[in-house]
Each structure stands twice: as C-alpha cells, then as structure tokens.
Amino acid sequence: MKNETIITDKDLPPEVVEAIRSGRKIEAIKLLRISTGLGLANAKVLVDSAARRLCPPVTSPPAMQDISASPGLVKFLLLALGMFLAYRFILNG
C-alpha cells in the first residue's frame, strides 16, 4: 500500500499560492504538479479552488450598470440634445 498524502487547497506550496495571486493559474498548476506529483485534473481542481478562495471575484462598478435602470437620465439627455439642436438651428437659420 502506498503512503499517500492528502493535499487541500489550503496546503499549497508558497510558490503556487504566489502564482495564483498573480493570476498565473497555468503556472500554478505546473508548479503544483512538479512539487506534489499530482495529475493534471487534480492539480487544476486544487488551483481553481484556491483561486476562488484567494482572489475575490471582480465586479463591475455601479457606473457600468445598464442605462435602462435610470430612464429619467435618458429622457433628460434627449431633452438636452433636442434643446441644443433647436438652439443651433435658430442661430444658424
């Protein structure tokens, strides 16, 4: 019987953790496979799990939300554009 060590996403070598935090997941998988002898699938699962834990998801800022969420702003901008065009037409006409 083999003496197998169980490794979790919290037991990763420091160089693997550093690669994950730097966004270099492929390098992290390679380093993990070299240091532990894990297969590709198992190393990928561990790195993905650690990445979810170590790197919070990126969310878009509120300013990037759908413009349809503020129909009053759209109406105001259209009114302002109409007034500007009417002003320009009256001056040049």
pLDDT in tens, 35-88: 999 999 999 999 999 999 888 776 766 665 565 567 787 888 899 999 999 888
Neighbours of 33 (CB within 10 A): 17
Give me the residue spans of the domains in the chain.
Answer: 14-57+69-92
End-to-end CA, the chain? 94
* pTM, entire model: 0.58
What's the number of CA atoms in the CB half-sphere (13 Å) around residue 30? 5
Instruction: Give pLDDT, residue 1.
Output: 40
**Which whole-number Å values give the CA distances from 71 to 6, 67, 82, in the listed order?**
55, 7, 17
> Rounded to whole angstroms, how far apart are CA atoms 24 and 69?
36
